[in-house]
Amino acid sequence: MKLYNSLILIAFAIFSISITAEVNHSKVISQDAALKLSDYGFFTNLSKQIPTEGVLPYDLNSALFSDYADKLRFVYVPAGGFAKYNPDEVFDFPTGSVLIKTFAYLNDFPESELDAQLLETRLLIRNDDGWKNVSYIWNKEQTDAYKSIAGKTISTQFINEYGDMQDIRYRVPNINQCKECHQSNETISPIGPKARNLNKDISYADGSMNQLLKWHQQGWITENISTKSMVDWSNINEDLDTRARSYLDINCGHCHIEGGSADTTGLYLNFTENRKINLGYFKKPIAAGRASNNLKYSIVPGNPDESILLYRMQSLDPGIMMPESGRALQHVEAVDLLRKWIHQL
Amino acid sequence: MKIFPKQFRLYCLGLLSAFCFAGTVYISPSEDPYTEIQEALILASPGDIIHLSAGLYELEDSLSIDVNNLILEGEGINDTVLSFKNQLSGAQGLSVTSDNVILRDFAVENAKGDAIKVKGVDGISFIRVRTEWTGGPSSENGAYGLYPVESKNVLIDSCVAIGASDAGIYVGQSENIIVKNSVAEFNVAGIEIENSYYADVFNNYASNNTGGILVFDLPDIPQQGGHHIRVFNNKSVNNNTDNFAPEGNIVGEVPRGSGIIIQANSHVEIFDNDIGDNDTINIAVVTYGYDTEDENYYPHPRSIQIHGNRFGRSGYNPDLETGELAKILFEISDGDMPDIFWDGIVPLPQIIFGQPEKDKIVLGNNGDASFLTINPLKYILPFFDPIETSYEKFSGEITPLPPVVLSETL
């Protein structure tokens, strides 16, 4: 009888692993996005964001600033899937792949008075004819997240890195706004996971490892990738130029690139751009309007305060600020970095 | 939000929408107009109409359309008003990124940035749409009112644009454009066609702007070499509002009191317009005035034809404070300002060997209009007077440009 009980327990354990530890692939490839985040089975513990086996966390050398929100990133590639490497571009993930990004204020400052708050989880789902974007907004109870259409304004507070409480009008973008950044040459594509921005060690459940190596071990990508890596823009041990260009790439370069939504301006800020005029050096604005702040050029080498680029990074006025969406606070540390960078040009 | 007829819509979901009747979504002002309108714009199927009843819609975030063949309509240019006075996010009032959208019978007021931006589409119609900054001219106003860019088959008909700190009606880097029956007032530039191909601008009224109608071409942007622009049957009068563009913007160089300015571009025909009561100049044809390393860019105007225009007075109170144009013209003309000015600047070989015949400016019958240009060769050499005011020397046969035909899908 005892043996029988144990067998049932074991069977049940195996059964429960098999139901909880697998991504619901049919939901992933379904034409209609699921109504709740939990439907996909990306996490064994949704609220704690503990991924299912086969869903790997990932991180970027430099990341887009989103009002100091913390970002938890995961990638799911279906079994046997292989992502082709394109220099300067995002890996060409196979059908059924998903990039998962949860925006949160973790408020993990010591003695924080606020609990962690999950805000939204954005998915980019790869299907046969390209990428599809969908976003889920977390409920108050933080038990699940529900599909968003028109986005949402979340007025909340978080603990900043100095331990102070700060108010924030956090905007969950609507589907169209997602495209503003993710659309290039008429198609939607991810921004972050380019080889040059992934080349770093992170910790996995089974220890620390370089992400490109880990992905290769998973059979997702080829081994031989040589790329000039972006760096962590906040790492003062890296050289200033690479830090600034890494920051500009991930924060501006998805729109300010040929074929991107800001290409009308001729200002291109992607990592591989090397024409000075297109990088903004003594470049007159095209359609800036009052956002020029009576300044003549995007970047005046040596003179940060005469540079429109820095002015627009500092503004909180929706008609002036850059990026156009996704920011309601000033990124003080990055403004400092760009100020130093322009100063020494 | 009411969806009507609902049965039809459900039925449509099962079939290809092309074979179905489109649905109309009716929206009235409510507590949360942003969510209601934006959800409708996102959930719409191609061919649907989003109808905004008369009233004031106060919006804190920008609206966007990304569904093809959508119609967004109000109940009148002064009756359905989208107000962005309290806007907190988004760089435009409304943005459109899908093809064959029709916007009609509503207004966008006091957007923090541009009022209506349309980017990268094939087919966009603005019909009886008003964009306005209601506090009068101010450098704090947004840059553009109606702002299609990188688009094809653009129709702007019976619209009103007021108070833009750059251009009220601005068509940039586009192709196949008609701007007609519209009113542009109290903008820096009333109507501006920039870096564009094949545009017809007619039956418009541009008044109280800094410059009435501008045809410009700029370097260092993806589409350049603007050409085939016809400007006819417009009234560009009394454009005497002080330039209030923030510095750094190219229109910040436009002197108060400019009727029509053509800068760079080729194949431009300006005819049958009423142009007058402009403080500085009725028509100026000029070269792009800054150094550029853009090798693809041609800074000089070519093949410009001007005929049949009726001129009122101009140049009686030139704006010598803004940009170089008025200042230079005032000095060389000794205060005797012409109706039509061409700066005469051509590439160096042409200074010596002359302009190719096909590139020359051609003046038709413009009544008793006066003309002034600078002869660059005489300007370089000593002891010559470089000023030419002989109208006959530049008069010639007009070769009309073909009318613009928009694609039939509109």
Which of the two residues, A22 and B209, has the higher pLDDT score? B209
From the centroid of its chain, how far is CA B171?
Answer: 5
CB within 8 Å: A293 and B246:
yes
What pLDDT is attached to residue B21? 59
Check pLDDT > 50 for residue B4. Answer: no
On whether any CB of chain B is under 8 Å from the CB of A262, the answer is no
Give the model's confidence band at A18: pLDDT under 50 very low, under 70 low, under 90 confident, else very high.
very low
Name the closest residue on chain A to residue B99, using Cα atoms.
A186
- At residue A87, the pLDDT reads 85
Report pLDDT for B321: 92
> Is the residue at A94 inside a domain?
yes
Q: What is the pLDDT of residues B74-123, one digit of tens each?
A: 999 999 999 999 999 999 999 999 999 999 999 999 999 999 999 999 99
Mean pLDDT score of chain B: 93
- The answer on pLDDT for A92 being more than 70 is yes
User: What ipTM score was computed for the predicted complex, to two decimals?
Assistant: 0.83
pLDDT beyond 70 at A8:
no
Dihedral sign computed on CA atoms, order A330, A331, A333, A336: negative
Q: What is the pLDDT of residue A16?
A: 46
Q: How confident is the model at residue A21 (pLDDT cuts 50, 70, 90)?
A: low
Confidence (pLDDT) at B9: 46
What pLDDT, on the 0 to 100 scale, is given for residue A2? 47
- Distances from the Cα of A161 to the Cα of A111, A169, A250, B152, angstroms: 12, 18, 22, 48
The answer to whether residue A136 is domain-embedded is: yes
Q: Is pLDDT larger for residue A16 or for residue A321?
A: A321
Please check whether residue A197 lies inside any domain of the structure. Answer: yes
Q: Is residue A307 part of a domain?
A: yes
Among the ranges given (B157-171, B375-389, B390-404), the one the predictor scored with the smallest mean pLDDT: B375-389
Q: Quickly state the pLDDT bin for A290 (edges 50, 70, 90).
A: confident
Exposed (0-12), middle (13-18) or buried (19+): which is A100, by Cβ within 10 Å? Answer: buried
Q: Which residue has the higher pLDDT, B58 or B408?
A: B58
Q: How far is A126 from chain B, CA to nearest CA, in Å? A: 20
The predicted pLDDT at position B409 comes to 54
* Residue A41 and residue A170 in one domain: yes
Cα-based angle A133, A134, A136 (whole degrees, multiple of 5):
150
A149 lies within 8 A of chain B by CB: yes
A309 contact B CB<8A: no
Contact A96, A80 (CB under 8 A): no
* In the predicted structure, residue A9 carries a pLDDT above the cut 70: no
Confidence of residue A195 (pLDDT cuts 50, 70, 90): very high
Tell me how crowded residue A71 is: count the other CB atoms within 10 A of its CB. Answer: 16
Same structural domain, A110 and A247: no
Give the orientation angle of helix A332-344 with respect to helix A240-252, to 10 degrees.
130
Does residue A289 share a domain with residue A203?
no
Mutate to test the interface with A, among B30, B43, B62, B89 (most CBs of A within 10 A): B89
Is B294 in Cβ contact with A277 (below 8 Å)? yes
CB interface of A with B, residues 173-232, below 8 Å: 174-177, 179, 183, 186
Query: Which comes out higher in pLDDT, residue A225 or B153?
Result: B153
Tell me, yes or no, whether A213 and A244 share the same domain: no
Judgement on whether residues A292 and A144 belong to the same structural domain of the protein:
no
CB contact under 8 A, A288 and B248: yes
Q: Tell me if chain A has a CB within 8 Å of the CB of B43.
A: yes
Asked if B220 reaches chain A (Cβ–Cβ under 8 Å), the answer is: yes
Touching check for B248 and chain A: CB below 8 Å? yes
Residue A185 in this model has a pLDDT that exceeds 80: no
CB-CB neighbors (< 8 A) of A153 in chain B: 60-61
Domain-embedded: residue A12: no
pLDDT tens for each residue of A150-162: 899 999 999 988 8
Once rounded to an integer, what is the mean pLDDT over residues B374-378?
Answer: 90
| Co-location of A104 and A208 in the same domain | yes
Domain limits at A318? 240-344
Nearest by CB to A264, from B38, B172, B248: name it.
B172
| B19-34 pLDDT, tens digit each | 445 799 999 999 999 9
Tens-digit pLDDT profile for residues B265-274: 999 999 999 9
Number of domains present in the structure of chain A: 2
Instruction: Examine residue A37 and state whether it is found in any structural domain, yes or no.
Output: yes
Percentage of residues of chain B with pLDDT beyond 90: 86
The minimum CA-CA distance between A300 and chain B, rounded to whole Å, is 13
Quick one: A258 and A327 in the same domain? yes
Q: Output the 3-class SS for chain A.
A: CHHHHHHHHHHHHHHHHHHHCCCCHHHHHCCCCCCEHHHHCCEEECCCCEECCCEEEECCCCCCCCCCCEEEEEEECCCCCCCECCCCCECECCCCCEEEEEEEECCCCCCCCCCCEEEEEEEEEEECCEEEEEEEEECCCCCCEEECCCCEEEEEEEECCCCCEEEEEEEECCHHHHHHHHEECCEECCCCCEHHHHCCEEEECCEEEEHHHHHHHCCCCCCCCCCCCCCCCCCCCCCHHHHHHHHHHHHHCCCCCCCCCCHHHCCCCCCCCCCHHHHCECCCCCCCHHHHCCCCECECCCCHHHEHHHHHHHCCCCCCCCCCCCCCCCCHHHHHHHHHHHHHC
* CB pair distance less than 8 Å for A277 and B293: yes
A225 domain-assigned:
no
- Are both A76 and A190 inside the same structural domain? yes
Q: Searching chain B, which residue's CA lies closest to the CA of residue A265?
A: B221
pLDDT value for A4: 53
From B188, which residue of chain A is nearest by alpha-carbon distance? A289
Mutate to test the interface with A, among B88, B249, B297 (most CBs of A within 10 A): B249
- Taking only the tens place, the pLDDT of each residue in B123-176 is 999 999 999 999 999 999 999 999 999 999 999 999 999 999 999 999 999 999
- B112 inside 8 A of chain A by CB: yes
* B327-361 residue pLDDT tens: 999 998 999 999 999 999 999 999 989 999 999 99
Q: Which of A292, A296, A308 to mutate to test the interface with B (most CBs of B within 10 A)?
A: A292
B309 touches chain A (CB under 8 A): no
Higher pLDDT, A13 or B405: B405
- Chain A residues closer than 8 Å to B35 by CB: 150
Q: What is the pLDDT of residue B10?
A: 42
Neighbours of A275 (CB within 10 A): 11
* CA angle in degrees (0–180, nearest 5) for B133-B134-B140: 50
Other C-beta atoms lying within 10 Å of the C-beta of residue A328: 18
A62, A136: one domain? yes
**Would an 8 Å CB–CB cutoff place A296 in contact with chain B?**
yes
Cross-strand pairs, A104: A70, A118
Per-residue pLDDT, A325: 86
Verify that A41 and A185 share a domain, yes or no.
yes
| Residues A315, A178 share a domain | no
The predicted structure's pLDDT at residue A339:
98
Q: A236 pLDDT band (50/70/90 cuts)?
A: very high
Domain assignment present for residue A134? The answer is: yes
Task: Please check whether residues A206 and A261 belong to one and the same domain.
Answer: no
